[in-house]
Amino acid sequence: MSGLIFADGIWYLSPCMINIEKGQSNFILPIAIKTDSRMFSFLKAGDIASGALLKKGTNVAFVDLGKFGTGVVYREEMLNARELLRNLKIGDAIQAKVLDIDNEEGYVELSLAEAGRQKAWAEISELKEKDEPFPIKIVGFNKGGLTADLCGIQAFLPVSQLSGEHYPKAAFEEKEKIGEELSKLVGEQISVKIIDANPRANKLIVSEREAIEIPSKELVKNYSVGQIIDGIVSGVADFGVFVKFTDNLSVEGLIHFSELDWRVVENPKEIVKVDDLVKVKIMEIKDGKISLSLKALKEDPWQNIGDKYEEGKEVRGTVYGVNPFGAIINLGDSLQGQLHVTDFGSVEEMKKQLSVSKEHAFIINSIKPEERRIVLKLKK
């Protein structure tokens, strides 16, 4: 008997025929018989099957899967799902992932832990699609961030994704203290959003910063680009400074490290520290995020560079930093000069002659205002 499959079931062509006379011709038509497609449903490995707990022993548990027969959960899988099994009674509904549809003993082999994990990732996927903040309880920490449990899956909250309020206040030269500050958040509830969920890699990343941007999208409507704002420093990170607006502490903006000063700034804490009162300028408002600048409210030292510096002139400066390409020298007035490593022959020789924070005499080799660059030579 051949069959045709349609959305509402399976239609089979019956061997019984009906003769229909029309004029001088006879037509023989097959009879189509509809069956219920559920009669032909089947399980396959990877499916989630539903049933009722039949028996629970020390080494094995049995599940009534109805028309699919009897399922079995062996000791190793029972250990993986011991918390779930502990609370189950005979007859309780249960879901499990199919590992084998017909094992050596004739049972459908099941995994409770895998089913729970699959269900957990499905719930996590729904949370991510909603794109709404939700609370999580912090259960652990490391130097990179915080950990939490979400639907039985470990979630990671990186330090960079913390709000200014919770960002570690430890100085960069005391990075070992970051863990100490993060440990204070263990046991606390923090509102977060999911920014990365990858079940294959078992990777779940959440963000507090993304969560607080939801109200910000409404609050920033009261502000405009170019506006001067009074603020208080709420956090300092290696990439910039968080500032809460004093007229509405629910609004927080970020000063990127490049907008702190006209000179190169390696550590934002050279410029400000937490709880400092500052005046900042709004440079950009985009997607609920406010970008701020301290530099924009300072006089541009390059505008009148010719009034104070000229090529061939001797100046004194302090070594700010030494790198494989050369050295950066603080000249004052937010200006910096540069020395190239080729002037010393090697990095090792340059480091012998220049020490960070030491003052030296230099000769201005060239001034390039269009590049905002002063090239120096060490005075012999």
Average pLDDT over residues 170-198: 80
pTM score, whole prediction: 0.48
Statement to judge: residues 138 and 204 lie in one domain? yes
pLDDT band at 319 (very low <50, low <70, confident <90, very high): very high
Contact between residue 157 and residue 208 where contact means Cβ atoms under 8 Å apart: yes
pLDDT at 274: 87
Statement to judge: residues 255 and 290 lie in one domain? yes
* Percent of the chain whose pLDDT exceeds 70: 85
Residue 151 lies in a domain: yes
Residue 125 lies in a domain: no
pLDDT at 3: 45
pLDDT band at 7 (very low <50, low <70, confident <90, very high): very low
pLDDT at 10: 43
Q: How many residues does the chain have?
A: 380
pLDDT at 2: 43
Amino acid identity for residue 351 in this structure: K
Statement to judge: residues 53 and 34 lie in one domain? no
pLDDT at 38: 39
Residue 244 in this model has a pLDDT that exceeds 80: yes
Contact between residue 322 and residue 356 where contact means Cβ atoms under 8 Å apart: yes
Average pLDDT over residues 279-300: 92
Q: Hey, what are 17's tokens?
A: 């025929």
Q: What is the CATH number of the domain that holds 155?
A: 2.40.50.140
Residue 240 lies in a domain: yes
pLDDT at 215: 57
pLDDT digits (tens, 9 = 90+) for 49-99: 888 889 888 889 899 998 899 999 888 888 877 777 777 889 988 888 888
Residue 123 lies in a domain: no
How many domains are there within the chain? 5
SS3 at position 360: strand
Per-chain mean pLDDT for the chain: 82
Statement to judge: residues 206 and 246 lie in one domain? no
Residue 124 lies in a domain: no
Statement to judge: residues 111 and 149 lie in one domain? no
**128 against 216, higher pLDDT:** 128
pLDDT at 1: 43
Distance from the first to the final alpha carbon of the chain: 103
Residue 221 in this model has a pLDDT that exceeds 70: yes
**39 against 81, higher pLDDT:** 81
pLDDT at 132: 86
Statement to judge: residues 178 and 153 lie in one domain? yes
- Choose the final residue of a domain: 180, 210, 240: 210
Contact between residue 159 and residue 205 where contact means Cβ atoms under 8 Å apart: no
Average pLDDT over residues 363-373: 90
Average pLDDT over residues 190-204: 88
Average pLDDT over residues 250-267: 90
Residue 29 in this model has a pLDDT that exceeds 70: no
Contact between residue 224 and residue 282 where contact means Cβ atoms under 8 Å apart: yes
C-alpha–C-alpha distance, residues 144 and 289, integer Å: 24
Residue 62 lies in a domain: yes
Statement to judge: residues 293 and 311 lie in one domain? no
Residue 216 lies in a domain: no
- The residue range of the domain holding 33 is 3-40
* Percent of the chain whose pLDDT exceeds 90: 34
Statement to judge: residues 166 and 206 lie in one domain? yes
What backbone phi and psi angles, to 5 degrees, belong to 334?
Answer: 60, 20
Residue 133 in this model has a pLDDT that exceeds 70: yes
Statement to judge: residues 365 and 331 lie in one domain? yes
Residue 99 lies in a domain: yes
pLDDT at 216: 60
- Weakest-pLDDT range from 13-22, 237-246, 274-283, 351-360: 13-22
pLDDT at 375: 94
pLDDT at 298: 92
**380 against 294, higher pLDDT:** 294
Statement to judge: residues 53 and 103 lie in one domain? yes
Statement to judge: residues 287 and 251 lie in one domain? yes
Q: Hey, what are 268's tokens?
A: 């934002």
Residue 291 in this model has a pLDDT that exceeds 90: yes
Contact between residue 10 and residue 3 where contact means Cβ atoms under 8 Å apart: yes
- Choose the final residue of a domain: 163, 189, 210: 210
pLDDT at 176: 66
Contact between residue 94 and residue 81 where contact means Cβ atoms under 8 Å apart: no
pLDDT band at 206 (very low <50, low <70, confident <90, very high): very high
Q: If residue 347 lies in a helix (H) or strand (E), which one and from where to where?
A: helix 347-353
pLDDT at 212: 77
Statement to judge: residues 227 and 293 lie in one domain? yes
Average pLDDT over residues 307-318: 90
Starting at the earlier edge strand, list the strands of the sheet with 9-22: 3-6, 9-22, 25-35
